[in-house]
Amino acid sequence: MFNIEKGKILILDGAMGSELEKHGVDIKTKLWTAGALINAPEAVKAVHRSYFDAGATVIITCSYQATIEGFMKQGYSEQEAKNHLKRSYTLAEEACEEYKKEHEGFVPYIVTAIGPYGAYLADGSEYRGNYGLTDEELYDFHKKRMEVLKEAGARYFACETIPSFQESRVLAGLVKELGCEGWMTYCCMSGKSLCDGTDIEECAEYMDKCDVIDSIGVNCTKPKYIEELVKKIRKHTDKNIVVYGNAGAEYDAIKKVWYRDDAVDKYSDYVQAWYDAGANIIGGCCQTGPEEIEGIYQWSKTL
């Protein structure tokens, strides 16, 4: 999907959740950002547009925590759940079309977020990956929503914040089965390992052999770990490397709040090192916003 000129980068968007809160949206629910697809669709579009304004050309749909099971647990019918899920793609599409009309020659990309099974649990399991599910159970869970999103128009899946090597293998297989493409970005607990303890090099070596996965990387990971992770990934692939770290804070999944911990003062200060290590698709994850993306954009002008 991505044809990146040698020596250049593509710029991703940043966080959805914290930006929705700035628009007055309550995300401290089981649905998290997926609730905005129902209660605040215009805010979702406004967040997408704010990242275009900041310099991003790639936006990620608001479907990370959007699942059929998740919506149905909150009392919606299966058809309503599917409609809410589809809306995540159509809102991104509308934001793109509106922005293109106002900015001649602008060429945006939409990538469709597929969060891990742990995101559906809404208990922080995406930072552990120890679900205890079989490949078949993970397959059934992800296939249903990926099929619905494909019906809505999705052709490129951002399999993101994946803490488990097992889950990433299942997702890569589904991307292929659906005749789509995608990237695989892992959630890591160090400069070496995924949250489930798997060495990132083992993951990179595996994904390098998956023809439908054109980009490999990390997201929702502390910035201090990313340079080392990118170097390890680059040892095993010539594919694009995508990174979008969080701002370094720690998340309390029960209270739905972030604590500063290792939070960085200036996110864009890390970008040069990531680029030098081999990353060529760069953005931000939790607790980053348009200011951080604009910092990456301004830095990119020096390339």
The phi and psi torsions of 214 (rounded to 5 degrees) equal: -95, -5
Distance in angstroms (rounded) separating the CA atoms of residues 148 and 154:
9
pLDDT band at residue 252 under the 50/70/90 scheme: low
Dist. CA 155–CA 114, nearest whole Å: 12
Residue 2 located in a structural domain: no
| 232 inside domain | yes
pLDDT digits (tens, 9 = 90+) for 16-41: 999 999 999 999 998 999 999 999 99
Which of the residue ranges 55-69, 159-173, 255-269, 276-290 would you say has the lowest mean pLDDT? 255-269
Asked, for residue 3, whether it belongs to a domain, the answer is: no
Whether residue 27 lies inside any domain: the answer is yes
Containing domain of residue 194, as a range? 10-300
Collapsed DSSP state (helix, strand, coil) of residue 131: coil
Establish if 4 belongs to a structural domain: no
- Which is nearest to 83 in space by CA: 36, 16, 148, 155? 148
- Residue 62 reports pLDDT greater than 60: yes
The answer to whether residue 143 sits within a structural domain is yes
Angle, CA of 194, 226 and 209, to the nearest 5°: 60
Residues 194-245: pLDDT tens digits?
Answer: 999 999 999 999 999 999 999 999 999 999 999 999 999 999 999 999 999 9
Q: What is the per-residue pLDDT for 161?
A: 96
Residue 82 belongs to some domain of the structure: yes
Looking at the domain assignment, is residue 249 inside a domain? Answer: yes
Residues 6 or more apart whose CB falls under 8 angstroms from that of 81 comprise: 67, 68, 69, 70, 71, 72
For 34: left if phi > 0, alpha if psi spans -120 to 50, otherwise beta; the answer is alpha
* 86 close to 52: Cβ distance less than 8 angstroms: no
- Per-residue pLDDT, averaged over 281-291, amounts to 96
Structural domains of the chain, count: 1
* Domain at 160, CATH number: 3.20.20.330
The SS3 call for residue 257 is strand
**Contact at 8 Å (CB) between 230 and 278?**
yes
Could you tell me if residue 197 is left (phi over 0), alpha (psi between -120 and 50 degrees) or otherwise beta? left
